[in-house]
Structure 1
Amino acid sequence: MLLTCLVIALLTCFASPLITKFLGRNAGWVLALPLLGAAVLAVSSFADAARSGSADSSGSPVVQQWVPWMPTVDVGLGLRMDGLALVFTLLVLVIGALIMVYSTRYLEPGGKHGTFYLLMTGFAAAMLALVLADDLIVLYVAWEATTLCSFFLIARSGAGAREPAIRTLLVTVAGGLLLLAAVTVMIIATGTTRLSEILVDPVWSSNGALTTAVAVLTALAAFTKSAQFPFQAWLPDSMVAITPVSAYLHAAAMVKAGIYLLLRFSPVFADVSVWNVMLVTAGLITALFGAIAALRRYDLKELLAYSTMSQLGLLVTMIGIGTPEALKAAVIHTIAHALFKSALFMFVGVIDHSAHTRDMRELAHMKLRMPVTATAMGLAAASMAGVPLLLGFVSKETMLKAFLDAPGPAWVPWVVTAAAAVASIFTFAYSARLVLGAFGGRADKNSEESEDVVREASPAFWGAPVLGATAGLVLGVTPFLLDKLVTVGATASAGEEVEAHFALWHGLVPELFVSLTVIAIGTMLVLARHRVHHAMAPYDFPISGLDVVDTAREQTIRFGGVVGGWTGSIAPRRHLSIPAVALIVIAALAALTIDDLPAVVGEPSDPLDWVLVVLIACGVVAMMQAKTLIAAIVVTGVVGFGMTVWFLQLGATDVAITQLLVEILTVCVMVLLLRRLPTTFEKTPPRQHVIPLLVAGGAGLATTVGVWALTGRREMSPASEYFLTEGYNETGGTNLVNTILVDFRALDTLGELTVLGVAGITIAALLRARKPSPERSANIQDHSPLIDSRDNTVFVRTAAKLLAPIIVAGSLILLLRGHYEPGGGFIAALVGGAGFALAYLSAPSDRSARVQMPYLLLIGLGVAVGVGTGFLGYLDGSFLRPLHPEIFGFQATTAVVFDVGVYLAVIGVILASFNLLGRPPKRGGQPLVGGSDPGAPTHESDVSDAPTDREMRAEGESAASGSTSSEHSRDHANNPEESDEVNAR
């Protein structure tokens, strides 16, 4: 059932653009229905669990569902709904449905609102996944999804919304990184990703330092989401968003995500003193700061933003107290806050739409004849203020009782209660300021300015917030209706059974006297509101949270520029020296800290190893001495081929073949670049070689010592033994390297495949973004044999025709046999790429060399095949799990299909490289090579591949009648002005 609820929310999100296309802003009516349906389904499932006796260790009924994704590592779509999850599920879905209905009248008719509804329903789905998640990975993904949805919802709210959206994103992303750290530590410490198991793991009671560290990370992550000190600045800043977004963010969605996280981990950290101190301190500071700031605001919506901050501070304080009574108060106040705050935001939107302003000073010159809006808004504000007969009063009394009974030293209850009472007094004052600022604050009677009359909006507009305000009244008069819901919610949060019995009258108890004192002092502040406001006006806070965020952002960018500047250079000696020096430092530290090493197991080397070492060293020295680019490429190839032989000698056949093919293709790519690069290296003074030589020598020595110290000193690892002994039984493949890549570690390979695809797209984007550099021009004598590119490539073209079928067949054989013998998708694609390289280099011109295949499509298709193969694994229980069907008597495997995806992506990247690096250069260029006879006629070639009529005619004649090369040469000699532009290759 839980999966059904989540699927309903996701389908609602995906269908919203189509529904909006046909219904426009009225799509909200339709989109509200599945949200309400999912809420009903959730309640029904929870009731069934309660009747069946399904409960967790605390006694709270629980509904669980697990859809495996990677069962070998116990990762899956784990969903779990206990009492706490039920409370937040109802808030997300019911408040979300009300705001969908409200949006049908708030949004402008005829506008394009598909993106709005898509993001709002996506927000609801993300929040639902967050509160139902029983897997930490799912929880974290949903947490980040709410961050992205909020960013886009704020950013789309106009030209001035860009900076607030970025600031909100920066703060909440920082919290996401903190949560990621906490999630990672929790998974490592407990060995599972299941949240329900993590919460009861004994590690929290046995490892105090670990528990404290995770508690701090979790609390800070929640602070960023719930706008708690010192991360509160983003919340008022996000008021640039339209009212439905603000109502959902600040009532039921984004800010409540942090509250949910704190309540969810309260059973684990409630006895951690650092957790208690952090939450109580930050909560009280935020509550007082938000309340005082709200009293200074003229914008109704901005006032509500600061009031949200203050109310969330009180909630965080209750969670920080950590007693069952405090958690019970937190749950009921969460419900009360969602009702009155969503209603108040929506009412402010009604006023804004009707009066075209939210400023109290402008509203003072208007007559707002909106009786329904005024009455219902007054009810919601009174609930926020804690006036009797309303739900806010019940939740505030429960909160005060929890504060008065707070554990710890004797002064703690008094200080916490006093601070909460002061915040509540200011809450009463700004609640009255909100209503009086909208409806009761009249302009000076002596003002001659005429007053505009503002009429009541349509019932469809104020209907949704009236429901929220009325619910606060009904539940305030009959609070016992919430007993069961708060009981199960508080029980799940406390980790022990909690009983909730709410009533309007509990007798003459201390919390009642505190409430009456709050109301009395608050009333006096309201009566003296003008003097209070004038007294507070001259004082500003010395530090602006927005300035802090902007400064941190600017300094981070500046620091990134400094760090990037260390390696952001085209000079190799500069950008390669940083990692080389870092390697030397790491090696030096290791040498100072490592005392002894295990003995070498077996023979450390073979005589052939030293032969290859000498060969490779000679190649490196020769490359250092090379004067021309061609010589450097040749000796680099020698080094690469030496490594190939070494891999082969060590028995790594797959790696050796890969190394060989990469060396071949590297040379082919370099050939395409040579004509645009200088032929010789720039001469530098010998003294400039000293430091690079020392750094390179030190890095080489560090690498050598590291290899000697860290390899060959242990027996075969358990993982290696498992692969060798169980690889065939598990996969049916005998090529261990291939089975690791496409069976055991297929998810890693899919990630690398995606990175490879991105690299290919990046190559295409970069090379298409600008024209290629001019090619070096060559002055070639007209009678030179080099003048005729067609005749000069006839032997290569003939060889290519003979070799092409062999290369294609070899490529396919390597692809199909990779699961059993050396080969596989990557090696097969490199062989196929070598065939394309041969076809390209044997062509007489760049244009005729181009292989007209959609390389970007091939890259995308390769990644899609890999992902599709992963989904096939669900037929056997998990993503990317290989299947082994029997087809016509032969044992097949989906790992080969996965290899096909690798093959296509690699081929696409190779084609992108050849087609884009070998495209025609710009005309022009300086002649660098002259003919042997200076007095002889010369033919200047800029090596362009643009076909002339002469070349096209010659190609046609060659294909039709096999014209001879001598006739072709004579034609060039007799018609020098029509001769082709020769490809200097």
Structure 2
Amino acid sequence: MSLFCVLAALWLLVPAVAVLANRVGARGGWLAVVVLTALTAVVAAGGPGTRTEAVPWIPSLEIALRLRVDGLGWLFALLVLGVGAVVLAYSTSYVTEERAGGFFALMTAFAAAMLTLVLADDLVVLFVAWEVTTLCSYLLILRVGSAGRAPAARTLLVTVAGGLALLGAVCAIVVRTGTTQLSAALADPAWTQDPVFAGVVAVLVAVAAMTKAAQFPFHSWLPDAMVAPAPVSAYLHAAAMVKAGIYLLMRFAGAASASPLWPWLLVTVGVVTALLGGVFALQRSDLKEMLAYSTISQLGLLVAVIGVGTTTALLAASAHVVAHALFKSAGFMTVGLVERRAGTRDLRELRGLFRSMPWTATMIALIALSMAGVPVTLGFVSKEYVLDAALSADGGPALLAAVGLGAAAVLTVAYSARMVFPVLFGSPTALGPPGGGRTMAGTVTVTALAGALLGPAVWLLDGALRSSAAAALGVAPAAVPAVSVWHGVTPALVVSAIAIALGTVVAVAHRWVDRALDRALFPVTGVAVVERLRSGVVGLGRATGRPYRGDAPARHLLIPLLLVAAGGGGAVAAQTGGLAAAPDTSRPWDVFLLLLTAGGIVAVLAARTRFAAVVASGVIGFAVALWFYELGAADVALTQLLVEVLTVAVIVLVLRRLPAPFAARSAHRGRARRALRIVLAAGAGGAATLATLALTGWRAPSPAAEWFLAEAEDRTGGTNVVNTILVDFRALDTFGELVVLVLAALVVAVLLDARRPQPVREAEGVSTAGPVRDPAANAVFLATAAKVLVPLLLLVSVLVLLRGHNAPGGGFIGALLGAAALVLAYLAAPSDSSGRVRLPFLLVAGAGAVVAAVVGLLGLADGSFLRPLHADVLGVHLTTALVFDVGVYLAVLGVVVAALNLLGTPGAGPQGVHPHPGRSTPGQHTEPDDQHDPMPEEALR
């Protein structure tokens, strides 16, 4: 089966299992179990041979949805799918939520993101999947509730920092090698020819992987995340999240080993992490915490052996990845089972489970034996190869690994034994009623027995493990030694026997060990460090945003004005021969428009009331629109004109709830601010003038403009170059802006739903008997005209939408015209309530984004997201770009209707946004009282 089909099936499973589990509860998770099991069989049947598939994504940047399976990707894909199926089966009995769709959707998305990561053969796709795993883990931890918020935030902070390191590595690789294809980039000679490049990328990749793999000093997030339920912990530790870091290190092992920094960094950090994790595990009495720190220790072992870098080392890493996935998934699922029956995870309270829960206790013993590396479990086989790789390799890193991993093996045996001894012996702990039944016990049994029985039957894994190691190093599988459970008395076997003996002694002497470790080993904890870092980042963000956290325009305009000044100065500085003589292009009409614009600016500055300033700014906008028309830019002029109309309408809806005059300021404060504004305005204006003079002498079209003018019609079938740029050539930019518009509508709706608007202010000094007070009297002419103009404008808006590809218009302009019609209908209505537009604005805006996204996905049929498809039907040229424009139309219309309804009508919010009960319609007079006065401007700041 195609790799894309496998991946698509898993991603499509996410919404399907969400809907089903919300309807029938946790039983709906069996759908995910069946699908993941089937996909595991499909991937296994394909074998570890190399296969590549690709679909163009962003051809201009040579980015494609490339998938590639080789021995390494195949092994990790089987773990992701197989362990995922077992954990989800366990979850169907563990999860008790009636609406469990969110849990199963996130777990399935976690699996889909991990599968995308291990199959990705494009650096951009790999990075996106990497970040999706971060978000999935964050959301799964966050589902716990208030107890999970701080751990989720700390986890997100650490792993996002690693994502930034990976982003830096991706950018460096693409720039240096000239390709985003992962397999091609790793085979590029730059790794051996450019030591600086190899060293920088090796460090960045290592840091990124270490944040995910919980290596010192980034380890604290993993125990912190243990607030998550047992199935999440089991999957996160066994086949997701932390294994993403291990996969990344193994994938880059061959190329990055060209840098001498790589082995020293990985071995040093891995050994330190393995030792610290083992010591911390011995300190813990909580069974789940002990397993969490044991994961840190085992991951340190994996990182160190990857750093050794030989074929035996990568074979050992592949074997231990499988062994660790089995005993760790079984371990966390067993913890969940025991906690549900015994009501505790404290080893000091768990006693005699061998008599009260004999089968579960047996599984705990098997898990501990495999984790400790006791013959002849799979953990024993993998540990033998780890020690053999360190002992047989040459160089300083290998020597450090041999000593450090030998010591870590002692600690592993010690905490594994401590996990078993209290559980097997002593008086039985009181148990609650059985929970979970056969499903939970069955999944634990499958993974625990697999970890034990695959040791003597390790020959079954020989091909998979050798192919994985070979793919990691870019060699043939024949160059990798065969896997066997016994190969004589070797130094590795001797070290392993010593570790088992010493570890058992440490476990037996637990009272003395507890007394020695019952203290803080370091002055600070990892969680405290991350929390301080998080507080520092938040504080830095507050400090950075403080200058812009007011409503004074000068605060927000300072940086743009300085940039304008810098840009103007740069443009002038670039003129080595002085400013070019400006050609005589001015006409009398330009002088008139210039004076009109300047007059509007002066009027805005002189305005003493808000409405006067709005009217004067409208004059400026209309003058600029006329200027665009005069210069022949019909599309831009029409857009400017309609935006100006709608902006004035929306601003008026806001201003009618604010005091009419501007707030008075003290004379001294007013003079100081006015002086600052004058300086900023003069500087920006002067710089803009100089930049204009510098550029006026160059009137020729740019190369990009010439290309669009020459190629637009042939490539798109449209003659309106502006529209073809928006919906054909740069549709991705337009799609991004469309999504921003929809989010803006959502933010406005949520904001006004959370904070009720101030009451509409009464017009002071106006008699209630006059026509200004009577909406029916003062709107009669507008209402009469609206009966004709509103349907006409709506019809014209549709025509403008349809003609946009070949004449001035398009979805954006058409939507603005349609919105203007709705504004006219609102203004003509006798009251606010009756003027409400009966449209589900959020649904309309969201539908626009969905339509545009679907059109983009259709473009994949021709090789690229958002690539327009063309067809001639009965002599008429049709294109999906028109459907994309319909999405733009709906999104823009929904946003404007959102502003109109939420700001202009009472009770129109998404959950009933009710304005303050000062008045309900313009025709009803209610005396204002003090408590309803708008908040003063100083308080808003």
TM-score over 0.5 (shorter chain): yes
Q: How does 1:797-836 map to 2 (within 5 A)?
A: 797-804=783-790, 806-836=792-822
1:724-762 per-position Cα deviation (integer Å, ceiling 9, x unaligned): 221111001111100000111112112211212222333
Number of the residue aligned with 2:936:
none
TM norm structure 2: 0.88
* C-alpha contact (below 8 Å) 2:55/2:860 kept by paired residues: no
Report the alpha carbon displacement of residue 671 of structure 1 after superposing the two structures with TM. 4.0
Matching residue of 1:58? none
Aligned to 1:147: 134
Change (3 A) 1:161 1:381: same
Deviations 1:530-559 (A, max 9, x none): 222222223532211111122222222222
Q: Does residue 470 in structure 1 map to residue 449 in structure 2?
A: yes
The question of whether the paired residues in 1 share the 8 Å contact of 2:354 and 2:362 is answered with no
| Equivalent residues in 2 for 1:5-404, closer than 5 Å | 5-17=6-18, 20=21, 25=26, 31-46=32-47, 61-71=49-59, 73-107=61-95, 113-157=100-144, 159-364=146-351, 368-404=355-391
User: Please, what TM-score do these two structures have when normalized by structure 1?
Assistant: 0.85
CA deviations on 1:488-539 (whole Å, 9 max, x unpaired) are: 1001101122323123443443323322332332233233232222222235
Contact 1:484 1:500 in 2 (8 A): no
**Cα distance, 1:234–1:683 mapped onto 2, change above 3 Å:** closer
Indicate the residue corresponding to 2:929 in structure 1.
none
Paired amino acid for 2:452: L
Per the alignment, residue 740 of structure 1 pairs with 725
Report deviation, 1:310.
0.3
Counterpart in the other structure of 1:669: 650
Contact 2:609 2:661 in 1 (8 A): yes
Residue 225 of structure 1 deviates from its aligned partner by 1.1
Q: How far is the alpha carbon of 1:263 from its aligned partner?
A: 0.9
Contact 1:372 1:456 in 2 (8 A): no
Q: CA deviation at 1:222?
A: 1.3
Q: Which moved more, 1:598-607 or 1:177-186?
A: 598-607
Structure 2 CA distance for partners of 1:304 and 1:668, relative to 1, 3 Å: closer
Any conservation in 2 of the 1:25–1:104 contact (CA below 8 Å)?
yes
Could you tell me which residue of structure 2 aligns to residue 754 of structure 1?
A: 739
Equivalent AA in structure 1 for residue 11 of structure 2: L
Opposite residue 90 of structure 2, the aligned amino acid is Y
Residue 527 (structure 1) aligned with residue 508 (structure 2): yes
The one-letter code matched in structure 1 to 2:462 is D
Contact 2:239–2:325 at 8 Å: present in 1 too?
A: yes
Residue 537 (structure 1) aligned with residue 526 (structure 2): no
Q: Report the equivalent of 1:642.
A: 623
- State the match for 1:969 in structure 2: none
What is the rounded CA distance, in whole Å, between the counterparts of 1:664 and 1:501 in structure 2?
Answer: 76
Give the aligned residue type for 1:816.
L
Offset of 1:484 from its aligned partner?
1.2
Query: In 1, Cα distance between the equivalents of 2:508 and 2:740?
Result: 66
Corresponding residue SS for 1:777: coil
Q: 1:403 to 1:888 in 2, by over 3 A?
A: same
> How far 1:711 moved relative to its partner?
7.7
**How far 1:568 moved relative to its partner?**
0.8
- Give the Å deviation of 1:316: 0.7
Q: CA deviation at 1:630?
A: 4.1
Partner of 1:963: none
Q: Which amino acid aligns with 2:634?
A: T
Please give the secondary structure, in 2, of the residue aligned with 1:885.
Answer: strand
Larger CA Rg, structure 1 vs 2: 1
Task: Tell me if 1:702 matches 2:703.
Answer: no
Q: CA deviation at 1:74?
A: 4.0
Name the residue aligned to 1:936.
none
CA deviation after TM superposition for structure 1 residue 845, in Å: 4.1
Q: Quick check: 2:654–2:903 contact (8 Å CA) kept in 1?
A: yes
SS in 1 for 2:374: coil
What pairs with 1:856-867 in structure 2 (closer than 5 Å)? 856-867=842-853
Q: Does 1:574 align with 2:564?
A: no
Query: What whole-Å deviation, never above 9, does each CA across 1:771-825 have from its counterpart, x for those lacking one?
Result: 3333133434578665655444444444444544553443333222211122212
1:351-397 CA deviation, whole Å, 9 max, x = no partner?
A: 33333222121124777444433333323322222223222222222
Q: Check conservation: 2:582, 2:693, Cα contact below 8 A.
A: no
RMSD over equivalenced CA pairs, Å: 3.3
What corresponds to 1:935 in structure 2? none
Aligned length: 907
905, 922, 927: which is aligned to 1:945?
Answer: 922
1:687 aligns with 2:664: no
Cα separation, 1, equivalents of 2:632 and 2:802: 21
How far apart are the structure 2 equivalents of 1:607 and 1:268?
62
Q: 1:586 to 1:828 in 2, by over 3 A?
A: closer
Change over 3 Å in CA distance of 1:323–1:646 after alignment to 2? farther
After TM superposition, list the pairs within 5 Å mapping 1:705-720 onto structure 2: 705-708=690-693, 716-720=701-705
Counterpart in 2 of 1:3? 4
Amino acid of the structure 1 residue aligned with 2:889: Y
- Aligned residue number for residue 869 of structure 1: 855
CA distance in 2, matches of 1:550, 1:923: 41
In 1, the alpha carbon distance for the partners of 2:9 and 2:833 equals 54
For 1:756 and 1:270, locate their aligned partners in 2 and report how far apart those are by CA, in whole Å. Answer: 47
Partner of 1:55: none
Distance 1:947 1:230 in 2: 66
- Secondary structure, in 3 states, of the residue corresponding to 2:52? strand
Deviations 1:896-943 (A, max 9, x none): 222222223222333333344333697998xxxxxxxxxxxxxxxx89
User: Of the candidates 471, 476, 481, which is equivalent to residue 492 of structure 1?
Assistant: 471
Whole-angstrom CA distance in 1 between matches of 2:429 and 2:825: 84
Are the equivalent residues in 2 in contact too, given 1:367–1:452 (CA < 8 A)?
no
TM-aligned CA deviation for residue 463 of structure 1: 3.2
In the alignment, the residues of structure 2 paired with residue 576 and residue 90 of structure 1 have an alpha-carbon distance, to the nearest angstrom, of: 55
Q: Is the 8 A contact 1:847 1:947 kept in 2?
A: no
Query: Are residues 139 and 642 of structure 1, via their aligned partners in 2, closer, same or farther at CA, if it must alter by over 3 Å?
Result: same
| Distance (Å, rounded) in 2 between the aligned partners of 1:306 and 1:565 | 40
Structure 1 pair 205–725 and aligned structure 2 pair: CA distance change class (3 A): farther
- Residue 633 (str. 1) matches residue 633 (str. 2): no
**1:195 Cα deviation from its structure 2 partner:** 2.2
* Deviation string, structure 1 residues 681-708 (Cα, Å, up to 9, x no partner): 3455362311221122223333444555
Whether the 8 Å contact between 2:320 and 2:379 is mirrored in structure 1 is: yes
**Take 2:20 and 2:656, find their aligned partners in 1: how far apart are those partners?**
57
* Corresponding letter in the other structure for 2:46: S
Instruction: Note if contact 2:352-2:422 (Cα within 8 Å) is conserved in structure 1.
Output: no
In the alignment, structure 1 residue 838 sits paired with structure 2 residue 824: yes
Q: Against the structure 1 CA distance between its residues 83 and 762, is the aligned structure 2 distance closer, same or farther, given a 3 Å change threshold?
A: same
Residue pair 1:327, 1:490 contacting (<8 A) in 2 also: yes
